[in-house]
A and B are shown apart, each in its own frame.
Chain A
Amino acid sequence: MDHTPPPFFKRGPAPLVRLFFFASLSLALLVVDARFRYVDGLRSWLALAAYPLQRAATWPIDVAMSLGNYFSTQASLIAENERLRAQLLGNVQDAQRYRELQSEAAEMRRMIGTTEKMPVLAMPAEVLYLSRDPYAHKVFIDRGSVQGVRAGSPVADDTGVVGQVTRVHPLLSEVTLLTNPDQAIPVQVVRNGLRAVAFGGGASGMIELRYMPANAEVEGGDRLVTSGIDGTYPAGLAVATVVRVERDEEHSFARVICKPAAGIERGRYVLVLTGETARPPRPEETQAKDRRGEKTRRSKAKDKSAGEKATGDDSQ
């Protein structure tokens, strides 16, 4: 123990009093943060303070990877080159067909008089680290508001959608993964165009379609892509593949379990899609509200909150 004599006369408030003070402060913060989001400024400052440590924490992995690269043998490099060349050939063919189809689609769009789709811009970003919270299903990426990331932008990797930017700090931003139970994404079955909303499945690492009618035409192996009707996700990004469909006679809804297409918990590099689609403003809903009264208002509030989840936090 150290030698300083205990200061008998100035010890401050008793520990129990301090505990009550700080506990009530924390509870107030919790409520304010969960309900009103007033403290996002404070959060940004704290995140900026933690940023150097977070940046430093990715350093050991960088070193390990560069060491691994250094020692990779020539044979494996040659094999990888071969594989990449074969892949490139396939991609070039696809790209040519894509260009052709794109011009064809643009022509058809002009013919039926709909607006032309805006091109989607992609910003590459590196995943810094997973959130230290087994419940959260979030990752942090090294691009923030300084680089022009906006809250609500979709995030994808080379194989499909990974998630959505939910909070933007100056130098990094937070991406909620598709597997987060609170994250919803509007999807479409490729085979027959059936639309649905997919929710995260939590710890299982799967995503599921809820509230599908029991006779919905979905079967194992169906591919799901973004439908694009929410105006947030561009249409046609791969989302998941249906693994199995549970039709229980007790429930009137079918439960559809799907496996995400992207390497959600694995990838190290992602793309932040920042293409702003020129979408029309939301139609006014005041008249309908007056006419239909209290009951529908409540259900509408529910709809609206679900819609906000799906389209990201537009209000930020």
Chain B
Amino acid sequence: MIPSSSQILMPVRMSTILGSFALALFLNFLPWPDLRLVPDFVALVLAFWCVRQPRLVGIGVGWMLGLLADAGNGVLLGQHALAYSLLAFLSVWLSRRILWFGPMLQSLHIVLILLVTQAAVLLIRLAAGDHFPGWPILVGPLAGAILWPAVTSLLLRPQRRREREQAI
């Protein structure tokens, strides 16, 4: 099988990017029973586009998404904005390195990025006077990293050529 990074892909469509962000926000707003155990889908999709399309999706987009997440969740305005800009920066910065690896090793990079993002939110919350929510908070980033190969194959699907075209 050809590794995903060396396949020749079609140019990405704007509607794919917007649709994936809308879907991620929708998944985040679903009423989950325990939010600490659920991966942050917006962070995952943002990391994906920052790695794949660093010139289209970058720190500014991450910041705007963070503001939306903050307002939608009714938390301090700016905490997700800061965390997502940090995430976007790390993803853009590491994008060439990450694409060099296969899906499993990519996940190892992503888990670090997601943990740093989570730590940024945690620090802001602690500075604002909240209590530590317990160690299950680490499960979310881990689950996100496990989902990374699935997210990659799903979001790259619109860009893949059909088999027949590839053979030519």
Contact = CB atoms under 8 A, between A and B. Distances in A.
Most A C-beta atoms less than 10 A away, residue of B32, B35, B36, B66: B35
A46 B30 contact: no
Contact of A22 (B31, B69, B81, B133): B81
Interface in A110-162: 129-136, 138, 140
Q: Is the interface on chain A under 10, 10 to 19, 20 to 34, or 35 or more residues?
A: 35 or more
A8 to B, nearest CB: 12
Nearest to A127: B31
Interface in A4-28: 4, 6-7, 11, 15-16, 18-19, 22-23, 25-28
Given A56-B26, A57-B30, A135 B63 contact: no
B71 A15 contact: no
Contacts of B82: 22-23, 26-27, 30
B71 to A, nearest CB: 3
Interface residues of B, number: 54
Contacts of A174: 74
B31 A130 contact: yes
B30 A129 contact: yes
B77 A30 contact: yes
Contact of A203 (B12, B63, B133): B133
Contact of B63 (A26, A43, A140): A26
Interface in B55-80: 55, 58-60, 62-63, 66-79
B79 to A, nearest CB: 6
Given A19-B59, A22-B59, A134-B137, A33 B76 contact: yes
A134 B135 CA distance: 12
A49 B93 CA distance: 30
Nearest to A268: B31
B161 to A, nearest CB: 13
